[in-house]
Amino acid sequence: MVPEIPVVDLGQLEWDRVGREVCQAFSGIGFVYLKNHGLPNEMVKKVNDSSGKFFQLENTKKRKYERGVVDIQGYTAVGRERLSEDRTAQEFRESYDVKRPDGMFPDEEVPDMRPSVETFMNACKDLTRKILVAMAIGLGLEPAFFVSNHQQMCTEDNTTCLRILYYPSLPESVPEGSIRCAAHTDYGTVTLLFQDDVGGLQVKDTVGRWIDAVPVPGAVLVNVGDILQFWTSGKLRATEHRVLIPPEEARRRSPRRSVVFFVHPDNPVLITPLDGSSAYRPITAKDHSDLRFRQTYEY
């Protein structure tokens, strides 16, 4: 049997149980579904509805709000970000990144986008703190260890950001081998993914097989990033994942939507293996994220 991604219930928030189950999932496949997490579907819908108006704008209007390489706020057009090592490969997606709720937004064109995103980001930060506490307990650390290193989320002093992803519908003329999003690991501590019901995300399991991350209604999918793998000397696993273009015609013609909250430690935090291992070179959270962004956007 191909192993499934575990599902953990946050409903009662029994810290010892949640911490144990989350760390078990993160040390195995590196992903976990969290249900009863407290963020209503309507909140995600409002972000998708408002940002959908932005993605339907003319390209010239969208490009007024382009993001930079390490300046994480704004629009990324199809083909601007490359995760594939094959620089000729086409990756069909658009996105809008939000690092700060008071940063650049298309207020003139889509006035309801900023308030819906700000409300959602605040809810994501609250959920993230619960996950960080659970992880610390599951690892036998002080409960506040990770939270104390993530005090400045969604400010200039931290790389945490919300990414609103839009995968447009595709015609039959799309070249063979094209992808939505190439195989990669995430850069930060953990990632919270709120995906639609179209699917397409695949995760590499512990024996190297690609399995479908079938959406679980109402659940958020959480995975380990590079920094958490460094911090734990590989005990918790940053797993490769990708988004493919589905072969079915109906799904090819359906836009795919997802909202992602990428969690990073505060910029000056020095990431050093907790067990004293020399397997990973110490690096600040800011230096690590800047390096990865340059690899992704400068080509």
Residue 74 domain flag: yes
Residue 136 domain flag: yes
C-alpha–C-alpha distance, residues 201 and 257, integer Å: 11
The CATH number covering residue 46 comes to: 2.60.120.330
Place of tokens 């009863």: 36
Around Cβ 219, how many Cβ atoms within 10 Å?
Answer: 21
**pLDDT for the residue 172:** 67
Q: Provide Rg for the chain, Cα atoms.
A: 18
**pLDDT for the residue 49:** 94
Asked whether 113 and 54 are in contact (CB, 8 A), the reply is yes
DSSP string of 44-79, one letter each residue: HHHHHHHHHHHHTS-HHHHGGGB--SS---EEE-TT
Residue 2 domain flag: no
Helices (H), the chain: 15-27, 41-55, 59-62, 113-138, 145-148, 226-231, 249-252, 285-297
Going by DSSP bridges, is the β-strand pair 220-224/190-195 parallel, antiparallel, or unpaired? antiparallel
Tokens of 189: 């501590």
Residue 1 domain flag: no
**pLDDT for the residue 190:** 98
Residue 213 domain flag: yes
What residue ranges of the chain have pLDDT lower than 50?
1-3, 249-250, 299
**pLDDT for the residue 100:** 95
Q: Where in the sequence is the domain holding 179, given as residue range(s)?
A: 7-297
Tokens of 19: 């911490």
DSSP string of 241-273, one letter each residue: EEEPPPSSHHHHTS-EEEEEEEE--BTT-EE--
Asked whether 166 and 95 are in contact (CB, 8 A), the reply is yes
The structural domain count of the chain equals 1
**pLDDT for the residue 74:** 95
Amino acid at 104: M
Amino acid at 242: R
